[in-house]
Amino acid sequence: MTSLWWWQLRERYSSVADFVVVYTAEAHPTDGWVFEGNVEVANHRSLEERYAAAEKLLEFSPQECEVLVDRLDDAASKQYAALPERLYIVQDGVVFYKGGRGPFEYKMNEVEDFLKKYKSH
C-alpha cells in the first residue's frame, strides 16, 4: 500500500479530473463483519438508511468530494466489482484504469501516473 491518499490526488489533479466517491453497501456493518473503532453503521435495509450512512461518511471525510449513493440492489458495486473499495478512471463512459481491490491491492501511484500523463497533454 502506498502513503499517497486519494484526497492528495484530488488536490493535485482537480484541474483535469473530477473525483467522486460512490457509497455502496457498508463493508463493516455493526450487524455483520465489524471491527472496533469503525463508524457504527448497520446493514442498510432501505435507501433512506444508505443515505443516512453516506451522511456519516461526509462528517468524517478529510476533503470535499462529491459522494454518490449506490442503489439498494448494489448495481454500481456489482458492475464495478467495488466491494469493499476500488479505484477507477472513467472518461466518457470508458474505463481507462481499473485498480485492484482495496484497500490493499490498489496502487495510488498508478492512478497518479495516468493523471500526470493526461495533465501533460
By residue range, what is the domain housing residue 59? Answer: 6-120
Minimum mean pLDDT among 4-8, 38-42, 69-73, 87-91: which range? 38-42
Whether 116 is covered by a domain: the verdict is yes
Answer for the pair 104, 1: CB distance below 8 angstroms, yes or no: yes
**What is the band of 118 on the pLDDT scale with cuts at 50, 70, 90?**
confident
Whether 1 is covered by a domain: the verdict is no
Q: What CATH number is given to the structural domain containing 79?
A: 3.40.30.10
Rounded-to-integer distance, Cα 82 and Cα 59, Å:
22
pTM for this structure? 0.75
For residue 55, give Cα distances in angstroms to 3, 23, 48.
26, 10, 11
pLDDT of residue 63: 59
Rounded-to-integer distance, Cα 89 and Cα 98, Å:
7
Minimum mean pLDDT among 23-27, 50-54, 90-94: which range? 23-27
